[in-house]
Amino acid sequence: MVSVPVGMTIAGSDSGGGAGIEADLKTFEALGVWGTAAIVAVTAQNTHGVQAFETVSVDLVRRQITSVLVDIGVQAVKTGMLASAEIVVAVAEALGGTGPLVVDPVFVSKHGNTLLADDAVEAMRSFLLPLAAVVTPNIPEAEALTGLTITTRDDMVAAAELLSHTGATTILLKGGHLEGDQSPDLVFTAGSATWLEGERIPGRHTHGTGCVLSAAITAELAKGMDPPDACLAGKRFVERAIAAGVELGGGIGPVNPGWERLVG
C-alpha cells in the first residue's frame, strides 16, 4: 500500500492532450501526486485550435467535486477553464475552504479561442479569487481582472497588488507577454514583490504552458510546499517542459510534462 498526496483539477478536457485536464493529470503524475478531476467542458481541440466545445451541466460539475471530496479527499486543488459564471459560482461553493486552491484564470486558449464568458470575469473576481492560495494570470488575464493596462514591470506590480485585494494570498503574474527576450514572472505575496527571472525559450511548443505551470504549483502545494516556493518550483518545471516540447501536429505544439523521463 502506498500513500500519496492527492490533487484535483477542475477544468476543460483537451482532446489533443496538450492542455486542460489531460495536461494537469500528466503533471500531477510526473510530480508524484494522485490526480483527480472534475470536467467542466469537453473540447474538440488540436494543435491548430479549438474547433468546438460543450460545457457540462452545473449540477454535474458540482457532483464531480463533492464525489471526490467526501470519499478520497484532496491536499490541493486547481481550476482552469470554467466557461461560465454559473460554473464559477458552483465551483466556489463546492470547494468552500478545501485545501489550498490555485486559480488559473483561463480566458482564451493559446490559439485565441474564447473559453470564458464575459459575465464570468466578475464572478471569478468575487467568488473564486478570495479562496485562492495562488492566482496565476498572464498579462491579458490580469488586465481583464483589474482593468489596468500592463506593458512594464511596474505595471505588473500594480496589477498584482490590486489582485491581492481580492483576498488571494499569492499572485503569480506571468510576464511572457512583455516585449523582449526575457520572460519574467512576478510573485506578489504579503505586500512583497519577488521576480522569477527567465529567458524566453524559442520554439513552437507552448500549448499547455499555463496549465502545466498551475498544475505543478498545485502538486507542490499538495506535497506541503508553501505558495512562493511552489511558484518557483512550478516555473522551473514548466521551463523544462517547454524545452522538451513534443513534436505533434502542425500548429502550436504541446509542452511535455514528462520531460524528466527524458533526462532521468
Could you give the CA distance from residue 31 to residue 250 in angstroms, rounded to a whole number?
29
Could you give the CA distance from residue 215 to residue 106 in angstroms, rounded to a whole number?
13
SS3 201: coil
Phi, psi of 195 (to 5 degrees): -95, 130
Q: Is 211 a catalytic residue?
A: yes
The one catalytic residue in 26, 78, 110, 174 is: 174
In this structure, are residues 264 and 227 in contact, taking their beta carbons and an 8 Å threshold?
Answer: no
Q: Is 210 a catalytic residue?
A: yes
Q: Is 208 a catalytic residue?
A: yes
Q: Is 206 a catalytic residue?
A: yes
The one catalytic residue in 27, 136, 146, 209 is: 209
The one catalytic residue in 79, 211, 235, 245 is: 211
What DSSP element (H or E) covers 67? helix 58-71
The one catalytic residue in 43, 47, 169, 206 is: 206
The one catalytic residue in 7, 35, 208, 234 is: 208
User: 3-state SS string over 141-200?
Assistant: HHHHHHCCCCCCHHHHHHHHHHHHCCCCCEEEEECCCCCCCECCEEEEECCEEEEECCEC
Q: Which residues are catalytic?
A: 174, 206, 208-211
